[in-house]
Structure 1
Amino acid sequence: MRTLVATALLSLVPGAVLAAGHSDASTFPNTCSNTSFQYGADGGAEIHATCLRADGSPNQTSIAIPAIANNNGRLEMSGDVASFQKSCGNIMLETNIDGVTLTANCRTEAGTFEETSINVPGIGNSDGTLSN
């Protein structure tokens, strides 16, 4: 148990440093599990996860996905808030040690759908809470 807590504490520090810039890879997968995409009450795009606090206890948490948009069937960073969820379906998050990839089937201007993906930047775990 002490090893787990020590690992969680060490993993939280880089997340706090990286969270300042959105261009940095998301680090929360190092100390979070059960990660999923969900629609918020306002229709916004959210990441939900169970993250470890510094004391090793789990915490259910969520955060709005940063400014990702659908540009003619391709996901890209754009605007202030995520809008891709309004024209994309089959939305999935893949987490690994290197970060988070968002994959979706997005509508093109021609009305067809393209499978596309993008790295989700700048989200870390701050004492059991997803933060950017």
Structure 2
Amino acid sequence: MKTFAATVFLAFTATSALAGSHSGASTFQNTCSNIAFQYGSDGSAQIAAVCLKANGMPNQTSIAMPPIGNNNGMLEMGGNAATFQMSCGNIMLEAEVDGVTLYANCRMSSGEFMETSIPVSGINNSDGTLTN
């Protein structure tokens, strides 16, 4: 019986750790409005929004974009910080109930631009503040 209980505990612990990872779909869009891409003062990529606090009051907030880059015209996850904004234009975020998608026209190695998109994962509203 002790072996069974330990196995269940380990399985539960592993499941809880995975549930806390930041790779899931974003949920902030369900309690935030005016969701938009913006440049930080250092040229970084950010998400800005007005998010509701637990008491129902709105709060202006922003957060660094996940590490998304431009790979020959295609948006993809990778690196330590977002870099796509240095070679992409017409950048916008589209929020839907089940997630948020980043759209952009990104430069290919040929110099042409290609329309591309990628889901923005792991961003949530924590009492009116965007978190990951």
Amino acid at match of 1:41: S
* CA positional deviation for 1:106: 0.1
For the 8 Å contact 1:19–1:123, the answer to whether it is kept is no
Judged with a 3 Å threshold, the aligned counterparts in structure 2 of structure 1 residues 53 and 122 are, in CA distance, closer, same or farther, namely: same
> How do 1:87-102 residues align onto structure 2 when only pairs under 5 Å count?
87-102=87-102
Report the equivalent of 1:68: 68
* Per-residue deviation, residues 68-117 of structure 1 (Å, max 9, x unmatched): 00000000001010000000000000001011000000000000000000
Partners of 2:18 and 2:127 in 1: CA distance: 14
Structure 1 length-normalised TM: 0.85
Q: Determine whether 1:43 maps to 2:43.
A: yes
Structure 1 segments of 4+ aligned residues over 3 angstroms from their partners: 17-20
- SS for the counterpart of 2:109 is coil
Task: Give 2:47's aligned amino acid.
Answer: I
C-alpha change, 1:91 and 1:18, in structure 2 (3 Å) is farther
Query: Aligned Cα RMSD in Å?
Result: 1.6
Aligned equivalents of 1:26, 1:59: Cα separation in 2 = 18
Structure 1 counterpart of 2:13? none
- Cα distance in structure 1, aligned partners of 2:22 and 2:123: 8
Larger relative contact order (CA 8 Å, sep ≥ 6): 1
Please report the TM-score for the alignment, with normalisation by the length of structure 2. 0.85
Q: Does structure 2 conserve the Cα–Cα contact (< 8 Å) formed by 1:18 and 1:124?
A: no
Counterpart residue number, 1:54: 54
How far the C-alpha of 1:22 sits from its partner, in A, is 2.7
User: 2: distance between equivalents of 1:23 and 1:126?
Assistant: 17
Residue 48 (structure 1) shift: 0.3
